[in-house]
Structure 1
Amino acid sequence: MEIRTNDFGSINGQKIYTYTLENNNGMRLTCTNLGCIVTEILAPDRNGMFENIVLGFNNVEDYIRNKTYFGALIGRVAGRIGQGKFELEGKVYQLPKNEGNNHLHGGYQGLHERVWDAEEIKTDSAVGIRFSYVSPDGEEGYPGNVRLQVTYLLNNDNQWIFTCKGYTDQKTLLNITNHSYFNLSGNAKKDILNHELTLKSHRFLELDKQFIPTGKISHVEGSVFDFRNSRKILDGKLSQNEQNILVGNGYDHPFLLDDHFNEEIILRDHETGRKLIVETNQPCVVVYTGNQIGGEYQTAEGVKAKKYLALCLETQGLPDAIHHSHFPPIIIGPEDYYEAKTIYTFTIDD
């Protein structure tokens, strides 16, 4: 197992590097100290062919220029906060409104555009990178100095283990996710409409026209939101359900998970045989099927941006939880310990 470091450019005089983790099976994960971005994951298909299964860019400039959040760490709060404000201990905090009237993914310069410190990790069973960053009080409008530590490990079981730990010196909000876009066809040769997704989830959140949760928790039974027995992503594109139409003919919805660390999320591409198993301690996964992907940019493989080019499986707390008392809280204080953990297992379908 090995780690390779390469120059990736600079931002405002700060050096940006890529770190390539490779296990004994030949699987590789490359990440960077800019926003803890995962730029590439090379995984085998059923014939042993290694191809990239996430969307990324070849240079720092494209990551800054194109607000895609490809592979990035998202925070301090993932998803949207309605009207970009919240109240905490009697004080109202106004955050940047970087998507219409709402706050999205931590603001204009959330954690995805910060330069992190990085150190290598090498053990008998894994290689990895430990990123660290202190988000100062008032950054993007959030209260509290928050110390963050993000670890990416790659082991010989072809697992990427993502852990985020956080500590604060005053009450604040924290809800972190990784925003990797997966396409198991390899090198984005095809879209993801024929990918099959299985979720251990019988409830999802209804969204309003601004993609903010209404507060209503709906049951999936009898709808195209029922992934308990597997379903093609294509079903969401073709659906006449107003919730699918609302988000651009597909999915961009939080699903409440019924189980944890028990193969609760499985994505399959039957053509290549690739299978991704996602397990987490987080209460939900936001399934975003790339309905809004578009623009003049191209991915690292030269594939032009288009709808349904890849999908995200964002394990996290519920979006806009600060405005819904019946959602699991995302408030942490100095006495609390925040830890989000997700394991991605890359394997082959039988």
Structure 2
Amino acid sequence: MIEEKADLTVKAEKVATWEGEDVFQYVLDNGVMQVELTNYGGIIARIITPDKDGKHDNVVLALEEIPDYFTKNGPYLGAAVGRYANRIGTGSFELDGESFHLTKNNGENTLHGGSKGFGVKVWTPEVYKSDNAVGVKMTYLSVDGEEGFPGNLMTTLWMELTSDNKLKLRFESTTDKKTVVNLTNHSYFNLSGIKEDVRSHELQIFAEAITPTGPGQIPTGELLEVSGTPFDFTTPKKLGAQMDALGEGFDHNYVTKRENSTELKKIAVVKHPKSGRTMAVYSTAPGVQLYTANHVRDFAGADGKIYQPHWALCLEPEAWPDSPNKLNFPSASLAPGEQYVHEIVYEFGIEK
């Protein structure tokens, strides 16, 4: 555990205007670690944490300045993604017998909500502070038909840093027409302080199955038990060794629950032995996508660093991919009068 006295502060600074809306940079500080956010895309821009020797480093892939995210964030670094995180096959689905056709931005499929998803929108922000947390509350109205999705979807996102080194996210959405919704954060973590790739990271995922995929990385509809396969992270494993066994990087959805529930469950633990940094991930969602930045190549990031494949890992808690087209998957639909809620917690620590 990181044991220092917390002193909670939040700083806000207007840094740009985008599409007529004010864009702010926020710095949440608890006296031990700092989190930099922006209301553009609900993006986590930096997470600065100490290692076992007290040295502070940023542990997420980042761009140099907030305005850089307007045009250079192809990999969705740190973004809030929606309306539907991950993929929807053929860019279409049916609800109650009505067909909906979405923007196709990933071959024949829709990825992370289409060509202009939540991660490129300016959210309406409000700073808040409590006895044990500082944060920013952001709201965004996705209008009926945006990227092809039905319903006016009102979403509120709380992003807060607590006195005990937890970064908590909470998405809440309501709609006036039946729709589908699946929201998450797309941070790329590297607990070394981005000094090396993530092959030396130790990873544990509390899931006994994945949703295997076919062409276009669309789930087949089956479940594959991970026991005896390179996908098995039920006990801590070196990420590099599992990647070697698989023969490639990971981009797979792990089944953390078999059905929807409100339980906030510990779904993963990441450790970087050399620095001593640790991160536990909790979520209420039924799945988590493990992605090892396979397609990030020669990418100019912050602090003069050039990011390459496998220089980060994403753990994206979410509904299962293509759930709107898989009746046997936990439902991702939302009806008027219902509320979508997804909580995510990233808990940072040190193991000496």
| Fold in common (TM above 0.5) | yes
Identity %: 35
In the alignment, which residue of structure 1 is the partner of 2:116?
Answer: 109
TM-superposed CA distance for 1:12, in Å, is 2.4
Deviations 1:74-107 (A, max 9, x none): 0000001101011112211111110111110001
Residue in structure 2 matching 1:42, options 15, 34, 48: 48
The aligned runs of 1:13-92 (5 Å cut-off) are 13-25=20-32, 27-59=33-65, 60-92=67-99
Distance, in Å, in 2 between the alignment partners of 1:310 and 1:226 is 19
Q: Is the 8 A contact 1:126 1:155 kept in 2?
A: yes
Deviations 1:290-314 (A, max 9, x none): 111114x311122112100111000
Distance, in Å, in 2 between the alignment partners of 1:63 and 1:191 is 26
In the alignment, which residue of structure 2 is the partner of 1:160?
Answer: 167
In the alignment, which residue of structure 2 is the partner of 1:278?
Answer: 281
TM-superposed CA distance for 1:63, in Å, is 4.4
Q: 1:335 to 1:13 in 2, by over 3 A?
A: closer
Distance, in Å, in 2 between the alignment partners of 1:12 and 1:49 is 39
TM-score, normalised to structure 2, is: 0.94
Residue in structure 2 matching 1:120, options 120, 124, 127: 127
* Runs of at least 5 residues in structure 2 that lack an aligned partner in the other structure: 1-7
Distance, in Å, in 2 between the alignment partners of 1:321 and 1:235 is 31
In the alignment, which residue of structure 2 is the partner of 1:194?
Answer: 200
Q: Do residues 221 (structure 1) and 212 (structure 2) align?
A: no
Aligned residues between the structures = 340
Q: Do residues 305 (structure 1) and 307 (structure 2) align?
A: yes
Distance, in Å, in 1 between the alignment partners of 2:224 and 2:9 is 46
In the alignment, which residue of structure 2 is the partner of 1:9?
Answer: 16
Distance, in Å, in 1 between the alignment partners of 2:15 and 2:182 is 28
Distance, in Å, in 2 between the alignment partners of 1:279 and 1:264 is 5
Moved more, 62-71 or 280-289: 62-71
Q: Do residues 212 (structure 1) and 212 (structure 2) align?
A: no
Distance, in Å, in 1 between the alignment partners of 2:317 and 2:58 is 21
TM-superposed CA distance for 1:280, in Å, is 1.0
Distance, in Å, in 2 between the alignment partners of 1:106 and 1:317 is 13
Moved more, 211-220 or 255-264: 255-264
Q: 1:83 to 1:258 in 2, by over 3 A?
A: closer
In the alignment, which residue of structure 2 is the partner of 1:100?
Answer: 107
In the alignment, which residue of structure 2 is the partner of 1:253?
Answer: 252
Q: Is the 8 A contact 1:233 1:289 kept in 2?
A: no
Distance, in Å, in 2 between the alignment partners of 1:293 and 1:232 is 21
Code of the residue aligned with 2:313 in structure 1: it is: L
Distance, in Å, in 1 between the alignment partners of 2:223 and 2:204 is 19
Other structure's SS at 1:83 match: helix
Code of the residue aligned with 1:195 in structure 2: it is: H
TM-superposed CA distance for 1:50, in Å, is 1.0
Code of the residue aligned with 1:45 in structure 2: it is: D
* Runs of at least 5 residues in structure 1 that lack an aligned partner in the other structure: none
Deviations 1:28-71 (A, max 9, x none): 00110101000000011111111100111123234423311000
TM-superposed CA distance for 1:24, in Å, is 2.9
Distance, in Å, in 2 between the alignment partners of 1:46 and 1:147 is 42
In the alignment, which residue of structure 2 is the partner of 1:264?
Answer: 267
Q: Is the 8 A contact 1:200 1:258 kept in 2?
A: no
In the alignment, which residue of structure 2 is the partner of 1:287?
Answer: 290
Q: Do residues 172 (structure 1) and 179 (structure 2) align?
A: yes
Q: Is the 8 A contact 1:69 1:179 kept in 2?
A: yes
Code of the residue aligned with 2:322 in structure 1: it is: D
In the alignment, which residue of structure 2 is the partner of 1:339?
Answer: 341
Code of the residue aligned with 1:273 in structure 2: it is: G
Q: Is the 8 A contact 1:317 1:330 kept in 2?
A: yes
Code of the residue aligned with 1:161 in structure 2: it is: K
Distance, in Å, in 2 between the alignment partners of 1:11 and 1:326 is 41
Q: Is the 8 A contact 1:236 1:251 kept in 2?
A: no
Q: Do residues 203 (structure 1) and 209 (structure 2) align?
A: yes
Distance, in Å, in 1 between the alignment partners of 2:142 and 2:73 is 23
Q: Is the 8 A contact 2:265 2:284 kept in 1?
A: no
CA RMSD of superposed structures (Å): 1.4
Code of the residue aligned with 1:349 in structure 2: it is: E
Distance, in Å, in 1 between the alignment partners of 2:64 and 2:123 is 19
TM-superposed CA distance for 1:119, in Å, is 0.3
Distance, in Å, in 2 between the alignment partners of 1:95 and 1:36 is 22
Distance, in Å, in 1 between the alignment partners of 2:265 and 2:120 is 33
Distance, in Å, in 2 between the alignment partners of 1:13 and 1:337 is 30
In the alignment, which residue of structure 1 is the partner of 2:326?
Answer: 324
In the alignment, which residue of structure 2 is the partner of 1:138?
Answer: 145
